[in-house]
Structure 1
Amino acid sequence: MAFTGKYELESQENYEEFLEAVGLLNAKTDHKVVTEVLQDGNNFTWTQTIPNWNWSNKFTVGQECELATMMGSKFKAPVALENGKISIQFPQYIFTAEIIEDKLVMICITSGDKGVTFKRVNKRI
C-alpha cells in the first residue's frame, strides 16, 4: 500500500496519557498535526508539522536506520514493513503506521508498566 501523501489529524485517543508516559506532557499542542509521507520503493521520508515545529525522519524498510525522537535525540532501529504496516521500535514506545481506507493510522504503544496505547487517525488532504 502506498503511503505517499499529506495527511491532517482527524482524531486521536490517549494523546495526553501518551505524552505523560513518555515525559513530554509539556509538548502538548492543540494544533492539528500535518503528516507528510514520501515513499520511493522502500525509502521513506516522514515529516510531522505544526506551526513553529517539525519532526522528520528518513528511513529504509528492512534496514537499521538512524532516526530521531520528537525531541531530537538520535537512535538506531530496524524498520519493518509487514502486511502493509510499518513498525519501528523507538526508545520509549513502538510505532506502527498503516493505510486503512485512505487514512493514515498511527499507533504508539509505550513500554513498561504504563503501557499506554496512543492512536492517531489522519485524513488525506
Structure 2
Amino acid sequence: MAFSGKYELESEENYDEFVKRIGIPSDIIEKGRNFKIVTEVVQNGNDFAWSQIYPGGQSMTNKFTIGKEADMETMGGKKFKATVYMEGGKVVVDFPNYHHTAEIAGGKLVEVSSRGVALLVYCRKTNS
C-alpha cells in the first residue's frame, strides 16, 4: 500500500511558531522540540491505523476509514470526531484547531499541519 511503513522524523520546519499558534504550553514545546518521533502507518485499502511513537515508548494511534467519521485523538490527548479524506494522493483531515495533510513524496512521508503558518515534517522510511 502507498502509505504503509515505519517512518522516522528527519526534519521539520516552523515547529515553534506552529505549536505556539495551536496553544501548546512552552514547557511542552521545549520538551517536544528534539523528539525523534516514529510514525507507523498500516494501510489496508481505505482503512488506516496511524501511530505516533514517542521517545520512552508512549504512543498514540488513530484508526480511520477514508470518507467515514472516526473517533480521533490529538497529540495532546484531546478526543474529537473527524472524517479523513483522500485528495490527490494526500490524506487530509481537520483537527480541532488546524488542517493536516500527509503524502508520500520522494519516498518520504511529508506531513503539513497549518494554522496561519505551516508546520512541515519530513520523515524517512525505516527498514524496521
Structure 2 length as normaliser, TM-score?
Answer: 0.89
> Which residue is 1:58 aligned to?
63
Quote the offset at 1:23 in angstroms.
1.4
AA matched with 2:90? K
For residue 123 of structure 1, give the secondary structure of its aligned residue in structure 2.
strand
Quote the offset at 1:55 in angstroms.
1.8
Distance in 2 of aligned mates of 1:45 and 1:7: 14
For residue 7 of structure 1, give the secondary structure of its aligned residue in structure 2.
strand
Q: Any conservation in 2 of the 1:19–1:27 contact (CA below 8 Å)?
A: no
Quote the offset at 1:11 in angstroms.
1.0
Q: Deviations over 1:19-44 (max 9, x none)?
A: 11111143232121110000011010
Distance in 1 of aligned mates of 2:93 and 2:27: 24
Structure 1 segments (4+ residues) deviating >4 Å: none
Gaps of 5+ in 1: none
AA matched with 1:19? V
Distance in 2 of aligned mates of 1:26 and 1:79: 31
> Which residue is 2:74 aligned to?
69
> Which residue is 2:7 aligned to?
7
Q: Give yes or no for the alignment of 1:42 onto 2:46.
A: yes
For residue 19 of structure 1, give the secondary structure of its aligned residue in structure 2.
helix
Quote the offset at 1:70 in angstroms.
0.9
> Which residue is 1:92 aligned to?
97
RMSD, aligned CA? 1.2
Distance in 1 of aligned mates of 2:53 and 2:68: 25
AA matched with 1:47? S
Between the two proteins, what is the percent identity of the paired residues?
47
For residue 18 of structure 1, give the secondary structure of its aligned residue in structure 2.
helix
Gaps of 5+ in 2: none
Q: Give yes or no for the alignment of 1:122 onto 2:127.
A: no
AA matched with 1:78? T
Q: Give yes or no for the alignment of 1:105 onto 2:106.
A: no
